[in-house]
Structure 1
Amino acid sequence: MTYPVTDPQTDPQTDPTTGPTTGPTSDPAPSGTATSAGERLFRQLAPTGATPPWEGMADVAPALGAEIEHGLGAVMARPGLDLRTRELAVVCMLAALGGCEPQLAFHVGGALRAGARPAEVVEAVTQVYLYAGFPRTINALNVVRKVFAEHGVLDVTASGS
C-alpha cells in the first residue's frame, strides 16, 4: 500500500487543522472517539488516564499527530508478531537510540501491560549493551528501574518474574 503525500496548502482533501481527510492515512473514526486502531492500541498500552501524543500536539502539529496515530495502529497491530514481542522490540530500539527516555518509559510500561515479564524486559535491554554500548544500556536500565517501581516490581532477580 502506498501513502499519498499531501500538501495542506494545495490539496483539497487535506484539512490543515486535522490532516488528510481521505486515503490510507485518514481515520474513519469521528474526531474525539476512541475507535481508531491507533487509539485502541494506545489505550491498551498506556496507563489509565494517559493522553495520546497526538492530542498533546494537536494545537501545534495536528497532521503529524494524525500520522502518529495512524502509524501506531498500522504498524503495531500488524500480524506476524504479538504485541508483547513488538513492545520488547520497541524497548530495545528506544534504548539503543538514547535520548528517548519518556517514550522508553511508556513502552516499558506498555510491554508489562502487554504481558512481558519484568525479567524479559531486563533481558531485552541487556541486548542493547552489545550493539549500542554501555552508556545507553545504563540509561535504559535506569528508566526500567523507575517504571518497575511504579508498577510495584521490587526485585526482578529474587522473583524470577
Structure 2
Amino acid sequence: MRAVLQRVSEASVTINGKLHSEIQDGLLVLLGITHNDTDEDIEYLVGKITNMRIFSDEAGLMNKSVADVQGSILVVSQFTLHAATKKGNRPSFIAAARPDQAIPLYEKFLFRLESTGTVAVKAGVFGADMKVRLLNDGPVTIVLDSKDKF
C-alpha cells in the first residue's frame, strides 16, 4: 500500500461538477492499493499518517502531527501510484489491485483511520472521475510505502 501525504491549507474533491468533500488545514492522502496488501499494511499506514510529525510547532520546526494541530484528513484513492514506468512511455497499472480487492481494503483503511478518533476524515469516491484541488502548505509532500518498513 502506498500513500502520498501532502500537508495542505485546504483540499477538496469535486465529482461531476459538484463539491463532494473538502477540508481545511490537514493532510491530503492519495492512497494506492496493490495485490498483496493486507490489514497489516492498513495498520502500518494509519499509524504513520496519524503520527507523522510534519506540522510546525511554535518554534517553526516540524514537530507536530495532524492530530496535534487538530487537522483533518482527505483520502483519495489513486491506483496510478502503482504505475510501472520502466518500459516505454505508457505506464502499466498491472500492480494496482483490481476493484474487487481494492474497494474493501480502501473502505477498511477509511474505517480504521476514522476509528483512531484523532482526526476528522473525509474521502473521495473509489473509481470516480474526481477533480482534486489542494493548496500544498510548505510545500510538504511525503511518500509512504507499507512494503518499505525497514
TM-score higher than 0.5: no
Computing the radius of gyration from Cα coordinates, the structure with the larger value is 1
TM-score, length-scaled by structure 2: 0.30
Structure number with higher strand proportion: 2
The structure showing larger relative contact order (alpha-carbon pairs under 8 Å, at least 6 residues apart) is 2
Q: TM-score, normalised on structure 1?
A: 0.28
Higher percent of residues as helix:
1
